[in-house]
Amino acid sequence: MKLKNKLSAALAFLCILLFSEKVNPCTRIVYEGLNGTIITARSMDWRGEIPANLWLFPRGIERFGEAGNNSVKWKSKYGSVITSSWDIASSDGMNEKGLVGNLLWLVESTYPKFVKDSQQKGLAVSLWLQYVLDNFSTVSEAVSALEKKDFVVASSHIPGTDIFATVHLSLSDASGDNAIFEYINGNLVIHHDRKYVAMTNSPIFEHQLAINTYWQSIPGTIMLPGTNRAADRFVRASYYIDAIPKTDNIRTALSSVFGVIRNCSVPLGISSETEPNISSTRWRTVADQKNLVYYFDNVLNPNVVWVEFSKLDFSEKGKVKKLSLANNENYSGESSMNFKPTPPFKFAGLD
């Protein structure tokens, strides 16, 4: 039985190496320190430019799911700070309760068949993460609601491109709980366990767990895979996020987590026509869920910027605000004062 398990893990590992060639890579990790210290970090890797801005969304915003006349509608219960992509989607963020969401590419995603203006309720994929941040304070709340499948997430091409958006969603909360949401063969698959602290792109998360089983028998102090493939980044992320010191010293914890996510990044300028998964890291975020501080690290800017939630107005009387970063604006340190009142962007809808 042990031999069979090892062979299965090895086969899964080989499959991962083959399929991970086809995707744009990103990495996401969750650190659990002492005395409630929880930190989530992610990298955004993309072959071309993917302009990002930070947005402050207060409570009470009326939302529409951008999937036709029968789109999901809601009013935001919680305020959030998010990172946008092209100002058409929320791709990363944290709400005022410390719930963090990250969208990562997953080429194997297959969404349910959806017909606009039919009886079925829909939500455009551009709003998937924002829906969760607006409505839930914990991972368990989100899992309980989404597993009911009251609506489907529908996708389409990224506007102005021939790229069909295929993503999976990771969540972590201030208690250290984790969940991964994927649409596989038209069905929503939810992986819910606080031990799911590492995640990359292809293959599906179930197979990512298989690679971890394979490498756990090989001490990381002796050998770790070092390429930019999703499979190798997953191994390094899983090993290092567990190996760094468990502490409640926030400076030490943040430095360690930044070190891990940078270890899993791809230097700017590196790409491959034959291996699309080797794409440059464009930006990274690190969310301190205990102290409610959100960090943004643009690789084209030497300074890390961050925003302390205690300095923001998330009330319904608060204004939507934007910290412009898409043009590599040069900020440094705590930057809440640089958010400017701005009309909210329009989320991308279906083709």
Give the residue numbers marked as catalytic: 26
Distance CA 298, CA 328 (A): 8
Neighbour-count burial of 262, counting CB atoms closer than 10 A to its CB (0-12 exposed, 13-18 middle, 19+ buried): middle
Query: Which amino acid, residue 259?
Result: G
